[in-house]
Amino acid sequence: MRGFNQKIYMLIIFCFCLLLIYPLTAKAGLRTEIQKIVEDIAQKYSLDPTLIHSIIKIESNYDPWAISPKGAMGLMQLMPSTASQYGVRNIFDPRENIEGGVKYLKDLIRLYQGKTDLVLAAYNAGQEAIKKFGGIPPYPETINYIEKVKASYQQPFIKTKTKIYKFIDKRGRVVLTNDRLYYLRHRQDG
């Protein structure tokens, strides 16, 4: 009987240790999954993954279930209207949230010619705040947000790695485009 009790006791200790370790390994697994998603989406949209990671770290600290007091949700803290605009159906799905956030970020990069401070200010405070103040709004939260993101992404301009395709069209003209599908449909050399 004593050997049986000792085995039960050891089994209970083992299970307790597993319960302590599981959250750490589960979190590490999720972090690895998010890392892979960021790499895939960064490559797909020609964006530096460091910028995406910096935003996720500040926005949600890698918590896919994060909800802000203002209603922003998920890893990249998308507002429901922004998520809908960029085709995000499940705002808490890491891949959908990151892809929606990156699509929005790319639009802001185009709108503000890649100026990091303006892009980050618009991501945090909204485009209307940028218009209202003619630049970065004087909100302490926004100024702090820009500083935090730039602590790990220290570029004055956000560079996109957009591939440019060059081809000869039907009329013999040289055409440059960043649209791969347009290139494949219209090139005459292949």
Same domain (yes/no): 60, 11:
no
Same domain (yes/no): 169, 148:
no
> Which has more confidence, 134 or 22?
134
Same domain (yes/no): 54, 126:
yes
Residue 26 pLDDT exceeds 50: no
Is the separation of the CB atoms in 129 and 118 below 8 Å? no
> What total of structural domains would you count in the chain?
3
Same domain (yes/no): 188, 114:
no
Cα four-point dihedral sign 149, 126, 48, 31: positive
Closest CA relative to residue 123, chosen from 146, 140, 147: 146
The rounded distance, in Å, linking the Cα atoms of 116 and 112 is: 8
Same domain (yes/no): 1, 87:
no
Same domain (yes/no): 53, 138:
yes
Spatial neighbors of 93 by CB under 8 A, at least 6 apart, are 64, 74
Same domain (yes/no): 59, 96:
yes
- pTM (2 decimals)? 0.71
Catalytic residue list contains 59: yes
170 pLDDT tier (thresholds 50, 70, 90)? confident
Domain residues for 122? 46-159
Same domain (yes/no): 109, 165:
no
Over range 81-89, report the average pLDDT: 96
Q: Is residue 40 situated within a structural domain?
A: no
Q: Is residue 133 situated within a structural domain?
A: yes
- pLDDT more than 90, % of the chain: 61
112 pLDDT tier (thresholds 50, 70, 90)? very high
The rounded distance, in Å, linking the Cα atoms of 110 and 104 is: 10
Same domain (yes/no): 181, 100:
no
Same domain (yes/no): 147, 171:
no
Which is the catalytic residue, given 59, 96, 141, 147?
59
